[in-house]
Amino acid sequence: MWEKKPVLLIVLATGVILIGTIITMVLPFAWVNTEADRIEGVKPYSALQQEGRDIYIREGCNNCHTQTVRPLVSDVLRYGDYSKSGEFVYDRPFLWGSKRTGPDLARLGGKYPDAWHYQHMESPRAMVPKSNMPDYGWLSANQLDPQVIQHKMETLGFPFTAEEINALKGKTEMDAMVAYMQKLGSDIPWRQNAKTEIVGDLTNPYAGVGHATMEPWEELYQQNCAACHGEHMEGVIGPELIGGDYDDEVLFEIIYTGIADGGMPSFSNLGTDKVWKLVNFVKYYHLGEGH
């Protein structure tokens, strides 16, 4: 019946569209960038990090990587605490993106040690055998030009201090990129707050198994641990693992929850069974037959 009264229909339709527009478009303007939205710990980028960010955009890293953890269970489990709007106040332009050929990077800071990043950028396949990310080793050959960076920031109206600009001398584009990677998502202390809960009992289900049983588990080690602890557990980026005398439960905890801010990632995503296999492999395999 309304469709027969055009004026009333137009008024009602306009009203409905207006309400929708106000809720989805106008109100967020009022919510975003208010005091309430600010997060104390979020700091502006340093000159080095900012330069890394510019190179990230120049190289189109954002064509393969997003920078926002959505408030979905699957996203939070995989990447960490979901992104808060206040974390992006210094991002111009923002790099949320929507294409994930590679993983999201919004919570990357502190996940790996610097050395891991240098090697991964140099040759992603050295760290992640099946990676299809291109090599960026040549970034190490490009020196930063502090004058250009100063000029750029003056043009934008956000000059860095002479001290900050001076600190760029002798740094390469690779240094800038790694500094930027380590800053991503690390301004809020989510890692410390997100202690992975271990549920269930901590008895080693594979206690006493033989060398032959453990042999297939080497693959788990090579895929997940070798890049940092070495092919033979001799230690590279992370410490040597041979001869550590942790209790089985402690070892389980280290691998399952990782060492926050120590550069040892959590492997809870492998599930408890695989983590127990790794515990046994790391602790007993090198002892050989009949330990």
Nearer to ligand HEC, 144 or 228 (CB): 228
The answer to whether residue 239 forms part of the interface with ligand HEC (CB under 6 A) is yes
Angle (CA) 120 125 126, round 5°: 65
Work out the number of other CB atoms within 10 angstroms of the CB of residue 250.
13
Q: Among residues 48, 149, 188, 225, which is the contact residue for ligand HEC, using CB under 6 A?
A: 225
In angstroms, the CA 258 to CA 264 distance is 5
Nearer to ligand HEC, 107 or 146 (CB): 107
Provide the minimum distance between the beta carbon of 229 and ligand HEC in the complex, in angstroms, as a whole number.
Answer: 5
Provide the minimum distance between the beta carbon of 155 and ligand HEC in the complex, in angstroms, as a whole number.
Answer: 24
Is 66 in contact with 100 (CB distance < 8 Å)?
yes
Q: Residue 106 contacts by C-beta under 8 Å, 6 or more apart in sequence?
A: 66, 67, 68, 69, 79, 83, 184, 185
Is 115 in contact with 237 (CB distance < 8 Å)?
yes
The answer to whether residue 108 forms part of the interface with ligand HEC (CB under 6 A) is yes
In angstroms, the CA 211 to CA 225 distance is 19
The answer to whether residue 278 forms part of the interface with ligand HEC (CB under 6 A) is yes
The answer to whether residue 214 forms part of the interface with ligand HEC (CB under 6 A) is no
Judged by CB under 6 A, the stretch of 25-33, 147-155, 194-202, 255-263 that binds ligand HEC is 255-263
Q: Among residues 80, 86, 110, 124, which is the contact residue for ligand HEC, using CB under 6 A?
A: 124
Work out the number of other CB atoms within 10 angstroms of the CB of residue 27.
11
In angstroms, the CA 181 to CA 48 distance is 11
The answer to whether residue 227 forms part of the interface with ligand HEC (CB under 6 A) is yes
Q: Among residues 51, 264, 266, 276, which is the contact residue for ligand HEC, using CB under 6 A?
A: 264
Q: Among residues 80, 183, 241, 280, which is the contact residue for ligand HEC, using CB under 6 A?
A: 241
- Comparing C-alpha atoms, which of 224, 262, 266 is closest to residue 113? 262
In angstroms, the CA 104 to CA 58 distance is 18
The answer to whether residue 45 forms part of the interface with ligand HEC (CB under 6 A) is no
Nearer to ligand HEC, 149 or 228 (CB): 228
Under the rule (CB under 6 A), what is the footprint of ligand HEC?
56, 59, 61, 63-65, 101-103, 105, 108, 111-113, 116, 124, 128, 131-134, 136, 177, 181, 224-225, 227-229, 237-239, 241, 244, 251, 254-255, 259, 262-265, 267, 278, 282
